[in-house]
Structure formats: structure tokens, C-alpha cells
Structure 1
């Protein structure tokens, strides 16, 4: 009974579909066209952590809006896109980047396509030899 009362109070406290408005810089371009171009280019390469397979530039998620606002604010403050990317990776982890750097942890990801192509060539070669 008590749980039902708490649930009802919570449902009445927040109207259905209510959304928190996005931060001001989330959807407004920067006044400086060069800075906005840098920000947009960076936002295209940063993964939305809520949406599967979308960049923060394409996502409608609230977290993506917050991340767009942070990117624009830092670029407007004069930070280079590489520094903003490094800050985002430090804050959210390597998963935030669509282009992970080559390291011991990502070496398998970089080598896997080459190894799969090599395996396919070897299998095809063996198959053609058997037919002769």
C-alpha cells in the first residue's frame, strides 16, 4: 500500500512526457563560424553514450545535448578540438570516441579486419586447390 502511494505521488509530481530543456549551447551554433565548424566536426566523431550507433551531433538524447553544449562551450573558450576530445575521453572513457587510438587494449580491434580478410583468402585458396 505504501509503495503504491509513493509511486502515485511520483507519477503525479512529474507530468508524463515532461523534458528538461537542453542547455543553451546544445542546439545554437557558435557566433564564430570557424569555431562552429571545429565543434561540428568534433561532435560527428563523438559517440552518444545513450544511443546505439549515433554521434552526439545526430542524437536527440538529453546526454548528447549536454555533451554538445560542453563541446561548444570549450571550443568557444579557445580550446583546440584535440584537447576537448582528450577531455571527453578522460571523462567518459575510450568508448566515447568513434576512432579509438591504437593501444594494447584496441590492437585486436584494429587487427581483426586484416586477419579476417587473410583467413578468407587462405580458405578460398585452399578451396580452389582442391577443385583442380
Structure 2
């Protein structure tokens, strides 16, 4: 069985122009059209939305979703809730934005109505 031709994903200004041109499509369709889809060993199409989002952010962002489509995953809301066991869970969207990796240490600073998280290494350099 022949392997399908790999398409080079769009980046930068070309990506922004293509996304704007395809504003009527869903985010999955936009990602496919921009080259952010692969075919698995089982011949199933797989859209890599994370790489697509990261490329968009690098290219200075863009509108991902047509208005009123109602499809898609969650986005970072910059709000979290205390879980029943009293823990606060900070999702991977936030750790990626902060550039955190496994094992990074954070200092917790409590304010009157807020919590600040600061990387220990970043604060030492200041």
C-alpha cells in the first residue's frame, strides 16, 4: 500500500491568509486545508489541532471558529474551580502558555482575592 503524500503545513502570513479565506469552515476543516492533518496506520484521518493552534499563535493569531458553529473543544478561560477534595487543578493550556515543563517549580503567592504562580527560576533571575 502506497503512503499518502505528506503536505507541508502552512505557517506565518500564508497561514493567516488561508484561515481568513476559510472563515466559513469549522476549525477542523481549516486545519485540514492548511496541512495540519495526517493519515494514521489504519488509514484514518487525524487532524492535529494543537499544532494548528500553535502555528496560528506564532503567526499572531486569527479567528478559528465561524460564529455560531457550536463545535469544538474548550478554550482557556483563565478561571478554575476548587475540586471536591479541595485541590486546584491547572490545565495544560495554562502550563503551555507559561512554558512549564514537568519538574518545574512554582512559588505560590496568596493575595486577598487572587493567587499568583511564579516560576522559581524566573524569579531568581530578576
Same-fold call, TM > 0.5?
no
Larger CA Rg, structure 1 vs 2: 1
Higher percent of residues as strand: 2
Comparing both structures, which one devotes a greater share of its residues to helix?
1
Q: Point out which structure has higher relative CO (alpha carbons under 8 A, 6+ apart).
A: 1
TM-score normalized with structure 1 length: 0.23
TM-score with structure 2 length normalisation?
Answer: 0.24
